Amino acid sequence: MSLTPERAPLPRNMIENDMFEEEPDVVDLAKESPSYPIDSDDVVYEPRSSRLLVRGLGENDLDEDEEDYESSARLLGMSFMNRSSNQRSAASSYTRQQHSGSCSRPSTKTTVVGVFILVLVASVFMVIYFVPGCTFSRNGCPKTNSTMNSIYPISTNGEVFPWTELRLPSSVHPVHYNISLYPNLTLMTFQGSVSILVEVLHETKNIVLHSSDMSITKATFEGEEVHVLEYKPWQQIAIKLKDVYKKGQYVLNINYKANLSNSYDGFYNSSYVDTNGTKRVLAATQFEPLAARKAFPCFDEPAFKSTFTIKMTREPMYISLSNMPKVKTTDLKNGLQEDEFEKSVKMSTYLVAFIVAEFVGVSNNVSKTMVSVYAVPDKKDQVQYALDTACKLLDFYNMFFENDYPLRKLDLVAIPDFLAGAMENWGLITFRETTLLVGSNSSSIDKQLVTSVIAHELAHQWFGNLVTMRWWNDLWLNEGFATYMQYMSIETVFPDLDIDTEFLNVRFKAQGKDALNSSHPVSTVVSTPEQVEEMFDSVSYEKVSKQNLSVSEMMNTWTVHKGFPLVTVKRSGIKVTLTQEHFLLNAENSTGDSLWHIPLTYVNDSCSLLSSCKQVFHLKDKTATLKLPSQVKWLKFNFRSDGFYIVHYDEEGWSDLIVALNEDVNVLSSKDRAALINNIFALSRAGKVSFKQVLNLMDYIKNETATAPLTEALFQLGQIYRLLDKRSELNLASRMVSYIDDHFGSLMENQSWDLETSVSNMTLRSALLEMACSLDISNCTVNAKRLFDQWLTSNKTSHFRIPSDLMRTVFKVAAQTDEGWSKLLYTYKHSINDPEKRKTLEALASTQDVRKIIWILQKSLDGSEIQTQEFPLVINTICKNFAGYLYAWDFVKENWDQITQKFPVGSFAIQSIIMSATSQFSTKTHLMEAQNFFSSLGTKGSQMRIVQEAIETIKLNMRWMDNILNTLQNWL
If one counts every other C-beta atom within 10 angstroms of the C-beta of residue 786, the result is: 13
What is the set of active-site residues? 457
What are the Cα distances from residue 209, in Å, to 12, 166, 345, 529, 850?
Answer: 20, 11, 21, 15, 50
What are the start-end ranges of the E strands in 613-706?
Answer: 615-619, 623-627, 635-637, 646-649
**Cross-sheet strand order for the sheet of 646-649:** 623-627, 575-582, 565-572, 646-649
Strands (E), 260-408: 266-273, 279-286, 307-314, 319-322, 326-331, 337-341, 354-357, 360-366, 369-375
Q: Name the 3-class secondary structure at 360.
A: strand
Q: How far is CA 476 from CA 175, 482, 523, 543, 801, in A?
A: 27, 9, 7, 9, 42
Task: Report the alpha-carbon distance of residue 505 to residue 509 in Å, rounded.
Answer: 6
Helices 908-918/871-879 angle, 10° precision: 20
For the beta carbon of residue 926, count every other beta carbon within 10 angstroms. Answer: 19
Return the HEC string of 39-82: CHHHCCCCCCCCCCEECCCCCCCCCHHHCCCECHHHHCCCCCCC
8 A C-beta contact, residue 436 and residue 401: no
Please give the helix or strand (H or E) that residue 17 lies within, else none: none
Pairing of strands 428-432, 409-415: parallel
Q: What's the gap between Cα 74 and its chain centre?
A: 24
Enumerate the known binding-site residues.
456, 460, 479
> Residue 440: CB partners within 8 Å, gap ≥ 6?
381, 798
Euclidean distance between CA atoms 69 and 641, whole angstroms: 34
Whether 215 and 257 have beta carbons less than 8 Å apart is answered as yes
Strand 189-200 and strand 248-259: the pairing is antiparallel
- Selection from 672, 675, 666, 569 nearest residue 625 by Cα: 569
**Residue 771 vs residues 155, 440, 628, 729: alpha-carbon distances, Å:** 57, 27, 43, 19
Residues counted in the chain: 972
Strands 307-314 and 172-184, by their bridges, are parallel
With b for 16 or more beta-carbon neighbours within 10 A and e for fewer, the 815-854 pattern comes to bbeeebbebbbebbeebbbbbbbbbbbbbbbbbebeebbb
Sorted by sequence, the CB contacts under 8 Å of residue 960 that are 6+ apart come out as 684, 685, 723, 922
Dihedral angle of Cα 556, 557, 560, 565, to the nearest 10 degrees: -160
Q: What are phi and psi of 317, to 5 degrees?
A: -70, -20
Q: What is d(CA 626, CA 618) in angstroms, rounded to the nearest whole number?
A: 10
- For residue 528, the tally of other CB atoms under 10 A from its CB is 17
- d(CA 623, CA 592) in angstroms, rounded, equals 13
User: What single-letter DSSP state applies at residue 622?
Assistant: S
Sign for the pseudo-dihedral over CA of 60, 62, 66, 70? negative
* Distance, CA of 768 to CA of 836 (rounded, Å): 20
**Radius of gyration of the chain measured on its C-alpha atoms:** 31
